Amino acid sequence: MTAVDERSGPTRPFPPGFVWGVATSSYQIEGAVDADGRGPSIWDAFSRVPGAVAAGESGDPACDHYRRWPQDVELMAGLGVDAYRFSVAWPRVFPDGGGRADRRGLDFYRRLVDALNERGITPFVTLYHWDLPQALEERGGWRVRETAERFAEYAATVHGALDGVPYWITLNEPYCSSITGYAEGRHAPGAREGHGALAAAHHLLVGHGLAVARMRATARPGERIGVTLNMSPAVPASPSAEDAAAARRMDLMVNRQFTDPLLGGAYPGDMAEVYGEISDFSFRRDGDLALVSAPLDFLGVNYYYPIHAAAAPYGQPDPALRSAFDIGVRTVAPDGPPVSGLGWRIEPRGLHDTLTGLAGRYPGLPPVFITENGYGDAGELDDTGRIAYLRDHLAAAAEAIGAGVDVRGYFCWSLLDNFEWARGYAARFGLVHVDYATQARTPKASYHWYRETIAGQR
Ligand code: IFM
């Protein structure tokens, strides 16, 4: 192994009790898309659309985790993590989105939760990581309120069925589920709409609020409930007033559209101005914001990179955004910062600024878990780029903690190489390499580095 010794772990100690974890999601690792009565999800359908996913790939067979999960739990035990964040596949529990729960789907997660607890690994369960039952999409998907109501029923069912889960996360990255899926068409369901995407964003938040209320009513002692957002600071590309305004518009779309209602109980005041002609918010109902802003026990933050934003003439949308609507912004790639193996900018400062920015904007911010952070490449075993990325982002998190932000844990994305959505299997984020032809798992240099880092912080 090469660079592990030279690239030592973070020198700053993390607070006692800091949670070290890894994260995955159901559709990205499970495979077995027809097993035990699982119904189709929007990703099964979207993957079949020619050109939607690189090389025509899909989440079948992914890492075949549905059958190989005991081996994956052993990999986690070997890593020495405190916690594992995974998601439940809604179509395994309700193959048609609602009705009668399928015991077989729930049993799979019961076995997993039991095995984790037996090894002292705390389960963090995400209820929705993008695999909406296709049957619900055919009734309008997240554009319609009924999906939020079905989500709350599903959440209450899983919550009732799974004992031994202290941490519950309602949604993963509602920005991606709404804007990337319903406005940019890059993710399932592949829609390119303006108003539909805004309705989806709102109904995701309503679904979260309804689910929180249902779970609170039956919570077991010590259970904690939160939500996970992907956050990217929007940095003006230049000191000009125009670029500063463009960055604020981008910040609204990516961050404040979600954080303000969840943490502040109100939508941002500049929302109608930013969304212009698609600003028909008739899907909002009295009482929604009270529901959405019910107190959280923690906030999950996923951070990968900041967005550098410049003003763009309306009518000439940024082709990189591919959005069905126009907010007068162009993203730019500044000179300087290195990029990951996937070409994503590497700016650890963005994680620090996200965390301190949240604490500054929202008095009473609940404790934060960094529920995802990671590095994508083509799958090298000697993945020094990933090690450097993780080390520098952990240092940025430590600095934010030193500045007073209550960060309680860090989850590396991801335990395994997996199905990276529209990029298919070519983009790999794992600490463990997966040979998809044989399903052989091989720990990378970063796996050993992360294990040593965690051990060094004990
Ligand atoms: O793989 C995804 C994950 O599903 C959600 N957050 C970002 C990761 C890397 O793109």
* CB of 30 closer than 6 angstroms to any ligand 1 atom: no
Q: Residue 287 Cα, ligand 1 centroid: separation in angstroms?
A: 32
Residue 14 inside a domain? The answer is: no
* CB of 420 closer than 6 angstroms to any ligand 1 atom: yes
Is the pLDDT at 123 greater than 50, yes or no?
yes
Whose CA is closest to atom 4 on ligand 1? 25
87: confidence class by pLDDT, cuts 50, 70, 90: very high
Q: Residue 363 Cα, ligand 1 centroid: separation in angstroms?
A: 28
335: confidence class by pLDDT, cuts 50, 70, 90: confident
Residue 206 inside a domain? The answer is: yes
Q: Which atom of ligand 1 approaches the CA of 420 most closely?
A: 1
Question: Which structure tokens are listed for 32?
Answer: 């077995």
Q: Residue 330 Cα, ligand 1 centroid: separation in angstroms?
A: 23
- What does the DSSP assignment read for 256-282? IHHHIIIIISS--TTHHHHHGGG---T
How much is the pLDDT for 129?
Answer: 99
- pTM confidence score: 0.97
Is the pLDDT at 1 greater than 70, yes or no?
no
Q: Residue 420 Cα, ligand 1 centroid: separation in angstroms?
A: 7
How much is the pLDDT for 8?
Answer: 64
Mutational pocket test of ligand 1: of 340, 390, 420, 434, the residue with most ligand atoms within 8 Å of the beta carbon: 420
Residue 213 inside a domain? The answer is: yes
Q: Cβ(16)–Cβ(401) under 8 Å? A: no
What is the torsion angle, in degrees rounded to the nearest 10, for the CA atoms of residue 325, residue 174, residue 106 and residue 288?
Answer: -100
Is the pLDDT at 5 greater than 70, yes or no?
no
Quote the CA–CA distance of 355 and 369 in Å, as a whole number.
Answer: 10
The mean pLDDT of 343-362, rounded to a whole number, is 97
Q: Cβ(353)–Cβ(403) under 8 Å? A: no
Q: In this structure, how many other beta carbons lie within 10 angstroms of the beta carbon of residue 34?
A: 11
Is the pLDDT at 372 greater than 50, yes or no?
yes
Domain of 389? 19-456
Q: Residue 374 Cα, ligand 1 centroid: separation in angstroms?
A: 9
Residue 4 inside a domain? The answer is: no
Tell me: cis bond preceding 317? Omega within 30 of 0 counts: no
* CB of 131 closer than 6 angstroms to any ligand 1 atom: no
Whose CA is closest to atom 1 on ligand 1? 420
The mean pLDDT of 251-271, rounded to a whole number, is 98
Residue 9 inside a domain? The answer is: no
Whose CA is closest to atom 10 on ligand 1? 420
Percentage of the chain lying above the pLDDT 90 cut: 94
Mean pLDDT over each residue of the chain, to the nearest integer: 96
Query: Catalytic pick from 30, 57, 137, 173?
Result: 173
Residues composing the chain: 458
Q: Which atom of ligand 1 approaches the CA of 372 most closely?
A: 6
Cα 1 to chain centroid distance, Å, stands at: 31
Residue 418 inside a domain? The answer is: yes
Residue 363 inside a domain? The answer is: yes
Is 372 in the active site? Answer: yes
How much is the pLDDT for 13?
Answer: 86
Total structural domains in the chain? 1
Residue 10 inside a domain? The answer is: no
Return the CATH number at 227.
3.20.20.80
Q: What is the CA radius of gyration of the chain?
A: 21
How much is the pLDDT for 6?
Answer: 46
Q: Give 188-209 pLDDT, tens digit per residue.
A: 999 999 999 999 999 999 999 9
Quote the CA–CA distance of 291 and 203 in Å, as a whole number.
Answer: 12
* CB of 180 closer than 6 angstroms to any ligand 1 atom: no
At residue 103's C-alpha, the angle toward residues 101 and 107, to 5°, is 130
How much is the pLDDT for 320?
Answer: 79
How much is the pLDDT for 11?
Answer: 62
Between 8-17, 70-79, 260-269, 289-298, the lowest mean confidence (pLDDT) is in 8-17
